[in-house]
Each structure stands twice: as structure tokens, then as C-alpha cells.
Structure 1
């Protein structure tokens, strides 16, 4: 989700296969294909409390060209009155269900029954047009909600419609920021779990990366690059 990488297809709907005009298959072949289609996994959004370290490092890396990073990870903190804090994360399993839209349409409304709510979302890339509309709609309907969206990369930021969508959620009251080292460390400590590996005896053990977050070499440089682009968009 980033500077125009064609491998990232966040906002494109899945293609529906068309039935061929002529069917040259035997009945057995046709039945086999029907069974295969029925066994495909459903479109869904995965929810949890902790992200595997390897997944976090790959999906949240703020590189300019994000080949293969075709899903969105969203880590959220919801704060309500009397010190109540709720945390979790969502990720896209397929392109038809985006983590941001699922969170703002299905998860967050469960916490809006009474009193003000403060929401912070750390997202691997900025929202597409549809997800931005869900965020703006949530803010318009719920005046006591404060939302801060902290993103690792900007999704297709050169597209005029995407730029307009980002300005739209900003004008609706969403605080939009790029992730910096401190944000990565916060997510690492609160939302990431060390990868489990097998030793020579086949026993599970934690990877040695269970300590503090170690930033990659160009993290701050890339963050500043995106920060300048975001300021340009919201100007």
C-alpha cells in the first residue's frame, strides 16, 4: 500500500468469473470444478490480540515500493470513561474485506453505547476511498468520538481520488499521522508477539527477537518522506 506499486490492489473488487458460452467439459469434470469452488475459503477479516513479529515487520515496513504487501493490518486502542481500555487487531484476508471498513462499521459501534470514546488506530497503510468513507461516516454520526489514525505508508497517494478521501477524513475530524520510531515501538510492545520456532528437538521456543523493537536503517527517512507527502495532501 504505497507509492504506486502495481502489486498492491487494495481498492479493487474481486473479479467474478463469467460462465463460458459453450461448455465442452464432461459431467465429471464439471462436478469436480464445482466441488473445488465450494471449498474455497470465505472472504473475511481476521481478528486477534497479537500479531506475529515477522508479519508486523513485513506489513508495517514503510518502504516506498511495497511489492507483496497486499493486505492491511490495523491495531486499535479504544479508551472509554473510567479508564477502560480495549485493544486488538484486524487484518484483511482477501481484498473484498478491508480491515478499516470492518473496524469502523462493525467493531467500533459496539463501544459507542455511552460517553466519549478515544480511538487510536495504527495501520499498515492509509485507507482506500471506501474505507475513508466509513471513517468519515463514523465521525459524522458520533460527535463524542475522537479518532487518531497513524499509518505506516500512504496508499496510492498520487491518485486525486485518494488525496480527496484523505482530506475528507481530516476535515471530518480524524487526526491523520505517519508512524515514527516511537509509534513502531509502541505497537511492538502492545500488539506484537515473538515468532515461535522449532529447535533441533522439534520443541517450540520463542525467537530471540522478543526484546525491544529494532528499527530498520531507513525507517526515519521514509517516515519523513511520507510526512511531507501527507502535509502536501492535507494542505
Structure 2
């Protein structure tokens, strides 16, 4: 399908709150380049089908057959720049298949702009993070993107694009929500990571870095942010679930000689249940080294202190976040808009007090 009708575009792409069209429309552009020279351009529209399924999978099926391997011949030196304007962000299953496709085809880069966020399951957020980890650029459709689609993918009869009410406000709200899923907004970071009183800070955010080494040589680096989900639970368990599936056993194959250096900057120290699962994971995977720096101590139950001691016994390094750690997170995990990190009042004093308390738990 090359274009869609105005009514179809409006009914599928409006970014209104509480608006739930059941199907997905995907407007795409593919540019083919080789050795810095432009070769070809294709565009069109896909929608959900019984087979192969959602619009994203319809695109992958077409792209693999008609672009990557036309007449079963691949152009090995070609680079493909793919752009999607999609009415719903991908569900978890589609996101995983797209991420797998990008990891298998390093000559394909994907930029994706969605009209609305599809977040029916907690794992849908993880799917978006996996897309970014695979190299995709993910954003919400701005008003200018809707106009671009109107001009290039809609039978518009020559009419100018009529913006609907609150299109820009809804875009800003959705983009902020997406930013909080993929990284963090400054307000989200400030509220959740300040080492002040715990009032209202009920969730846990975990900023992570993973370095993979083999025989003393650095192989690769990944980072990101997790937060509490209904499944698999607290941010620590979300990380373990991701790490086991995407790092230790990608495509169900383990790299037995690899060493993994993992760093966490976490808004709350782990509760007892999470600490026990992390300690068990470290004991079962001796090639994984974990350093944890926490903004605040979670000590709601007496056993929470034992959980911290068990982490150390399993080989984890556990400390409180120092002022330099907060700045590091601001620079590397926060969508800070280029603003410098602002130290809050009593940050260093609170760090010293919390570190002393932690030392008493671990070593006294």
C-alpha cells in the first residue's frame, strides 16, 4: 500500500489521550546507500495482517524479501536508512523481533517515531529499551511529523494538514513518558535519587553499565535504566531478567570465557528478597562482578540488613552514592538538555551519614 485516505490517517494517528484504535499503521521510507552514494528510495504503508502479523512484522517480511535479498542476491556493501512513522509503538514481541533483526543486520539503521505509546504489559517498556539497545532511534511523533506523513503518505487532495486540538501538548506529554522509559528526565532523577528523606519515593530506579571482557581485552559496553515493574518485579530483578536473556545467553548461546563487569547506581539499596536473588545469581555466575552504589538505604525490615551482608559475601561491592556518582549519573543517564548538574543542599553530609550506617551494617 503506497498511501492512505485522510479519514484512515486521522482515525489511526491522532495522539489524543484515551484514544485506542485497535490496528497499527506504519508509514515507512527506505534509503539505500553505497560508498557514500545514494542508490534508491522506497516508501509505503503497512498495516496489521493475519500473516505475518503486526505491521512491524509485515515490514520486516517485505524488507527481507524485496530489499535485502531481491532475487535472492544481497548487496553486501549497501547501507539502509529506514524511517518509520507508526500509529502505535511496538508491542514487546514485535520490539524483540525488530531488535533481533537490527542486531543481525548491522548495515540497517532504524529511526522510529510513534503517534502513541502501546503499554498494555509491563514488558512493553522493556521492548522499547531493547530497541534502543539494538541501535534504533525511538521518539514520539511531533506535530511536524504528522504534517510530513500527511504530505507524503496520505491521499490529501492537495489540502494542507489541519492540526487537531492539543496535538503539541499531547506530543510533549508522550515524549516525556517515553524519555522516562528509555532514560530519565531531570525531575525524575532529582526526585528519586536525592539522598534526602524518603517521603513519596516509593519506586526504585537502577542505572546500569555492563562491560564485557575476554582474555584481558574489552569487547563491548551497554548501559540503561530499569525501574520497578509488575513483572518481574523490583528494578534489580528486571535487570537480572534482561541480563540473563540478552547478555549471558543471547540466542541461547553463552560465551563461556567472557567476564562481565556490572555497575549499578540505584535509588534504593536492595530489599532482602532482591538481595538474596542477586547474591544467588552472583554465586551461580562467577564470571560476573557487581558494584552497587545506592542513593538511600532501604531498611524497612531487620532482614534487609542481612540481605546487604549476603550481597557482600557473594562478592558484590556495596557502597553509598557519593556526590561524584550523582553527577556521573546526571551526565550519562539523564536527558539533561546540556544543563550542568546542580548539587543539592547537604548532599555530602547525607552521603557520609549513610556510608557510616552502611559500614556499621556490613562490618560491625
Which TM-score applies when normalising by structure 2? 0.46
> Does the Cα contact within 8 Å between 1:43 and 1:97 map onto a contact in 2?
no
Question: Which structure has the larger Rg over C-alpha atoms?
Answer: 2
Equivalence for 1:108: 243
Measured against aligned partners, the alpha-carbon deviations of 1:19-72 in whole angstroms (never above 9, x if no partner) come to xxxxxxxxxxxxxxxxxxxxx965569444421110000000101x21111000
Equivalence for 2:194: 61
Q: List alignment gaps of at least 5 residues for structure 1.
A: 1-39, 195-205
> Does the Cα contact within 8 Å between 2:229 and 2:238 map onto a contact in 1?
no
Which TM-score applies when normalising by structure 1? 0.71
> Does the Cα contact within 8 Å between 1:153 and 1:178 map onto a contact in 2?
yes
Q: List alignment gaps of at least 5 residues for structure 2.
A: 1-118, 130-181, 249-253
Equivalence for 2:184: 51
Q: Show the 5 A alignment for 1:22-171.
A: 42=121, 46-47=125-126, 48=129, 49-63=182-196, 65-81=197-213, 82-93=218-229, 97-104=233-240, 106-109=241-244, 110-112=246-248, 113-114=254-255, 115-156=258-299, 159-171=301-313
Q: Secondary structure at the match of 1:116?
A: strand
* Aligned counterparts of 1:213 and 1:135: Cα–Cα separation in 2: 31
Q: Secondary structure at the match of 2:268?
A: coil
Question: How far does residue 139 in structure 1 lie from its aligned partner after superposition?
Answer: 0.5
Decide which moves more: 142-151 or 43-52: 43-52
More helix by share: 2
Measured against aligned partners, the alpha-carbon deviations of 1:167-226 in whole angstroms (never above 9, x if no partner) come to 0011110000100111011111110003xxxxxxxxxxx5xxx32211101111111110
Question: How far does residue 137 in structure 1 lie from its aligned partner after superposition?
Answer: 1.2
Q: For the aligned residues, what is the CA RMSD? A: 2.1
Aligned length: 179
Structure with greater contact order relative to length (CA < 8 Å, sep ≥ 6)? 1
